[in-house]
Structure 1
Amino acid sequence: MAVTFSSSSSTATNIFDVGKYTVELVSVEPHKCTSHPPPKPLLIATPSEASAGAFPIFLFLHGYLFYNSFYSQLIQHIASHGFIVVAPQLYSVAGADATEEIKCTAQITNWLPEGLHNFLPPHVHPNTQKIALGGHSRGGKVAFGLALGKIARTDLKLSALIGVDPVDGMDKGKQTPPPVLTYIPQSFDLGMAVMVIGSGLGEVKRNPLFPPCAPKGVNHRDFYQECRGPACYFVAKDYGHVDMLDDETGGVRGKATYCLCKNGKERAAMRAFVGGAVVAFLRGYLEGDFSSLAAIRDRHEEIAPVELQTVAFQEN
């Protein structure tokens, strides 16, 4: 597909602000479903009943030991721009091996055509011809693992892939099984467009007793280096590994998100940037409108809510 990047086209809304669609947040528990239950519990952010039409799907995977509810503000931001965001809860407790997470994600993806419409508002339809996959932290690794066909494959064609501060382990010699990074430049044969978003503070220790949350050698930089075009890469300079989460993340795990990782001043700006960048990327590679993505590339110093230390693009 020939892609023309132009930032001259006007957009209906600012991608870093809430979009034009009213959003409903739907929680789905498989054991409470009478028909077509999903393989795992889901949190779905969808345009509301008043928003009739067919919308692309973004399947988004949570980070290690996090709850999908920690991303409710982020996924509602994305959905408000005309997308159905499906955020599964892949597990409550997990060890080092991410194999089962890849298998579960494949099962959820295969479930979408027959099951997702049962949990959407009337007149809101999922467009299963336009599906993007993404994830944060270890969820980003799982998304890449499935896209690469490690352990499991999907019946559906994925159109785009997004890694939000993806991490493949504690360091280069301790990747989480199954390993995804190969340390061979442009080795990922994905057959789809990719976006990697990184955090400038993710590889900085907050506490000397704990490693950084996104260590050098297994983080966003390494994932992007192994991608082939079309691919884009953004790194937010003064923000940390979990700064795209909700402002309020409850419970012990939620409080830990403020203690274990080096954080920026506040989460709202990073969350707005990640949400807007995802919207721009999905508009481009799922809907053919690259004006928002080009605007980030060309005018990010004017329009982005965070300072970017890296902006990079690879063509086909």
Structure 2
Amino acid sequence: MRALSGKLVSGVFICVVSCYGQNPFTPGQYDTDWIDFSPKPDGIPLHSTVYFPKPSGLYSPILFIGGMYGWASSGYYSILLTELASRGYIVVGLDRYYPGQLDQLTSPVRSVGRQNESPSIELFFNTTQWIKNHLSDQIVAQADWTKTSLLCHSAGCDDTLVMVNVSRTIAQASVFLDPMSLDAMVLQTLDSKVKVLASMSQLSEEKPMCCIPGTDYRKIYDLMKCTKVRMQVKDFGHCDIMDDLLWDVCHSANVCRTTNNTRLENYRTFAAGVIHGFLQWAIYGNTGMQKYVTNQAYMPLPLVDLAFDLNC
């Protein structure tokens, strides 16, 4: 286990994060830090990097699973996750694959339709329980586990969707970023009260394609009840949400379509802001945040698709 100082986050809110109607795209008010937990020597089932606000206080936890069925660990999303921490969240990375825990490897792709048989799901739940039991001994920021949300990217959303399907208590809300879920093709409408934001970057479904229609954000949206929101952000790509190292691999190898590197900060800030706005609205009932998630006029980036269902 180790903890290092994170980057200082510039900008100060006029009022606290949860104040009514505060623009969620404003830079976060909290300085942040991060801490690592590893199976050896800490005893946690899976590796986890936790991003958190430095000040003491009670914060909503976010459980995050990265792309490529968890092969992309949370450390490759540190810019986004730090931005979320600066807005008042404790972000817990659930790293399915990580150097040093290769003995825990399972097949990255489950047999479609056999969701409950995935050993990784149990590992995610057990890792979350370990964090609940031990995190408060290591940091002064405290997690309010009654206001938990899920966050995922790409094929990591396959496991997140299964977590929502098999557990009625794991979270109050879930955010799917550029989701690709094979299980979504065979699932019926989920009997879940989890509130959902499904967001897609426009270039993710353009060649070279990294998200497949029928497994994507529209399908996630259709599977869920309400409250639910879907959006597609214009002219950004699948890897643009990731840190520069992984973005450069995607861009140079032409693995997925990307934008150019002059606009990455805009997209990451937008993603952090829209996630924050959605969670403040969905979990805390802050209706002043709703317009930043359901009304294009209040968003700093253009969309090509926006839909929502609030009629529960």
TM-score (norm 1): 0.80
In the alignment, which of 260, 267, 271 is matched to residue 268 of structure 2? Answer: 271
Which string of whole-angstrom CA distances, capped at 9 and with x for unpartnered residues, describes residues 154-209 of structure 1? Answer: 8x5421111111102xxxxxx3xxx233375xx12212211111111111113xxx
1:305–1:94 Cα change, 3 Å? farther
Q: Structure 2: which 5+ residue stretches go unaligned?
A: 1-19, 99-104, 111-117
CA contact (8 A) 2:236 2:259 kept: yes
- Greater RCO, 1 or 2 (C-alpha within 8 Å, sep 6+): 1
Q: Which amino acid aligns with 2:131?
A: L
1:181 maps onto 2:193 in alignment: no
The letter for the 1-side match of 2:109 is: D
Q: Check conservation: 1:158, 1:192, Cα contact below 8 A.
A: yes
| 3-state SS in 1 of match to 2:24 | coil
For 2:21 and 2:279, locate their aligned partners in 1 and report how far apart those are by CA, in whole Å.
17
1:41 aligns with 2:63: no
The letter of the residue matching 2:48 is: L
More deviation in 38-47 or 286-295? 286-295
Pairwise CA distance, 1:59: 0.4
* Correspondence for 1:113: 132
- Corresponding letter in the other structure for 1:255: V
Between the aligned partners of 1:221 and 1:257, the Cα distance in structure 2 is: 25
CA distance in 2, matches of 1:190, 1:306: 30
For the Cα contact (< 8 Å) 1:272–1:305, is it kept in 2?
no
| Distance in 1 (alpha carbons) for counterparts of 2:234 and 2:72 | 24
Q: Which amino acid aligns with 1:53?
A: G
Alignment partner for residue 236 of structure 1, among 233, 243, 248? 233
- Structure 1 stretches of 5 or more lacking a match? 1-8, 169-174, 207-211
Secondary structure of the equivalent of 2:203?
coil
Q: Is the 8 A contact 1:181 1:226 kept in 2?
A: no
Change (3 A) 1:45 1:181: same
Corresponding residue number in structure 2 for 1:204? 206
1:26 aligned residue: 35
Residue 6 (structure 1) aligns with: none
Contact kept in structure 2, 1:56 and 1:286, CA below 8 Å: no
CA contact (8 A) 2:278 2:293 kept: no
Match of 2:246 among 227, 242, 249: 249
Distance 2:292 2:163 in 1: 30
Q: TM-score, normalised by structure 2?
A: 0.81
**1:43 alignment partner, SS class:** strand
Question: Partner of 2:193 in structure 1?
Answer: 191
Structure with greater proportional helix content: 2
Cα shift at 1:130: 1.1
Name whichever of 213-222 and 85-94 sits farther off: 85-94
Q: Which of 264, 286, 291 is matched with 2:288 structurally? A: 291
**Shift of residue 132 of structure 1?**
0.6
RMSD: 2.2
Distance 2:78 2:48 in 1: 12
State the distance in 2 between where 1:20 and 1:40 align.
Answer: 30
Q: 1:160 and 2:201 equivalent?
A: no
Distance 2:292 2:205 in 1: 28
Deviation sequence 1:60-106 (CA, Å, 0-9, x none): 10001312211000011111111100012111466442423322222
- Which residue does the alignment assign to 1:311? 306
1:291 and 1:139 map into 2 onto residues whose CA distance is 31
Tell me which residue corresponds to 1:224: 221
**1:148 partnered with 2:171:** no
